[in-house]
Amino acid sequence: MVLHIISSVGWLGVILGAIALSVAGMTTDDLDRVKSLYVAMEVLATTFFLPGTLLVVITGVVLGLGTKWGLMKWWWVAVKLVVGLVLFAAGAFNMRFAVYNAAELAGDLKPLESSVDVSLFGMLGVMALLGIFAALLSVLKPWGRINWRRSATTAKPEPREVREPSK
């Protein structure tokens, strides 16, 4: 559990650090500084984001399988698993390339289009909010157990008509 908590907090720190770099890059006119900020963000994304997300998902699955909470026994655990998988997919297939693109554009020492800045900032913001949401789920544990059994109304067979024997 300690590894899961440490990796989750570390992952959130990487995202918040990338947000800080993104905001600094959007608010400066110094093109050399913009280049440095986006190169630093690229290093964060390359070095920590995907491995960190993978570590969070793997330790979460191990915890789910090895504790009373299970992976699919409680709604909050199932939702956290989905959030983790979505974050991993978003990082692997979208955010990583957006960071690379921004770093490459900044490397040309040309001002970035505001759509590149805002898009990257928006992705990072959504990822941070999803990470915070997952942390809140761990603390609050809402929604109760997943009921995999059929309900009592559907489990009962319909009453059959009883015929009396003929004489």
83-105 pLDDT tens trace? 999 999 988 888 888 888 888 88
Using the Cα atoms of residue 90, residue 72, residue 70 and residue 136 in order, give the sign of their dihedral. positive
Helix (H, G, I), strand (E, B) or coil at 96: helix
Q: What predicted TM-score, i.e. pTM, was given to this entire model?
A: 0.81
**Which single residue is written with the structure tokens 């942390």?**
135
Sign of CA dihedral 141, 143, 148, 150: positive
Q: What is the pLDDT of residue 162?
A: 64
Specify the pLDDT at position 5. 94
Nearest to 42 by CA among 102, 87, 83: 102
Question: Which parts of the chain sit beneath pLDDT 70?
Answer: 150-160, 162-163, 165-167
Q: Are 21 and 44 in contact (CB under 8 A)?
A: yes
pLDDT value of residue 159 = 64
The answer to whether 45 and 95 have CB atoms below 8 angstroms apart is yes
What does the longest C-alpha to C-alpha distance in the chain come to? Answer: 104
